[in-house]
Amino acid sequence: MEQPVLEITDLSVTYNGVVEAVRGVSFAVPRGACVAMLGSNGAGKTTVLRAVSGNLARHRAEVVSGRVVVEGQDLAGRSMSDVVAAGVVQVPEGRRILGRLTVEENLRIGGIRRGRRSWASSRDRVFALFPRLAERRQQLGLLLSGGEQQMLAIGRALMSGPQLLMLDEPSLGLAPQVVEQVAGVIAQINREGTSVLLVEQNTAMAFSVATSAVVLELGAVSLAGPTAELAGTDTVKELYLGHTGRDSAPAGGPAVQPLAPWRGSAPAGRWAW
């Protein structure tokens, strides 16, 4: 049986040595898969990403038990540079591009570990995925729209050629049309061989690209399985898909129906990492 690209086992994390944000979390991202992690605000999703990416210490948090295994290496408690070297890159919530740098300069920073020829090839593939970035390659990041900034954040992460791409709320603050475009790009990246761990509150978007999902509640796993099965459970329908029955809707708004699985066309070729 092939080893997962990421395997989390019995992970528990505390903040300030007191607040237990995550307790006993276990799940895996199979190689080449796209897995969604769902949950309300405060459920522990971002904390899990921080534990994987080595970004706990700056938030006064630490792993108190459990394992975070990437490509056979236990990276629990390791530095961010160790995690990146192991092939894991995160696109954080809020995008966090460098606004005073141009699009191309942001991409260059993402590929700083690569040789010139490899960097240029990776940049060209990012521009193939995001033609709008190619058009704005000399424009400052702060002058981009929200959707363009999200494209740049994803492109910058891809510049390092990750084995596992983690995205934290990539649809946040974006117009529905842009959300659909971002979903298509995530599906394309995954189809071309990059494993994806997608944290999303937009469950319809997440289910359109992910084949399986894990649901966190109060820092622990409450549900896990294929998205097609989870979408039919009462818990997911009521709490995450916005309806309580086939024709019902929550108070204050219409039911949100899942997007159809993404089947858009792909740019020619594969990632030349």
Please write the tens of the pLDDT for every residue from 199-209: 998 899 999 99
| pLDDT value, residue 119 | 76
pLDDT tens sequence across 104-136: 999 998 887 765 667 788 889 999 999 999 999
Going from the C-alpha of 164 to that of each of 35, 54, 160, 217, 241, the distances in angstroms are: 11, 14, 11, 24, 27
Distances in Å between the Cα of 238 and the Cα atoms of 43, 198, 265 are 17, 21, 32
Angle between helix axes 176-191 and 146-158 (nearest 10 degrees) is: 10
CATH of 4-87+162-241, one of 3.40.630.30, 3.40.50.300, 1.10.10.10, 3.30.70.100: 3.40.50.300
pLDDT range class, residue 153, cuts 50, 70, 90: very high
Count of Cβ atoms closer than 10 Å to residue 116 Cβ:
8
User: Closest Cα to residue 29, out of 198, 159, 206?
Assistant: 198
Residue 49 has pLDDT above 70, yes or no: yes
Q: For residues 41, 44, 48 and 51, what is the CA-based torsion angle, rounded to 10 degrees? A: 110
The answer on pLDDT for 262 being more than 60 is no
Residue 27 scores a pLDDT above 50: yes
Q: Where are the domains of the chain?
A: 4-87+162-241, 95-161
What mean pLDDT is reported for the chain?
Answer: 85
- Which of 64-78, 105-119, 205-219, 232-246 has the weakest average pLDDT? 232-246
Has residue 251 got a pLDDT over 60?
no
Q: How far from 85 is each of 4, 32, 88, 113, 251, CA to CA, in Å?
A: 17, 19, 7, 9, 47
pTM over 0.95: no
- Spell out the alpha helix ranges (H) of 78-161: 80-85, 103-110, 116-129, 131-135, 146-158
Instruction: Provide mean pLDDT across the span 79-85.
Output: 90
Say yes or no to pLDDT of 272 above 60: no
Residue 191: is its pLDDT beyond 70? yes
Segment 223-227 mean pLDDT: 95
Q: What is the pLDDT of residue 128?
A: 92
Please give the DSSP secondary-structure letter assigned to residue 102. Answer: B
Taking the C-alpha atoms of residue 131 and residue 63, their distance in angstroms, rounded to an integer, is 40
pLDDT band at 1 (very low <50, low <70, confident <90, very high): low
As a whole number, mean pLDDT of residues 163-184 equals 92
Taking the CB of residue 18, how many other CB atoms lie within 10 A of it? 6
In this predicted structure, the answer to whether residue 254 has a pLDDT above a threshold of 70 is no
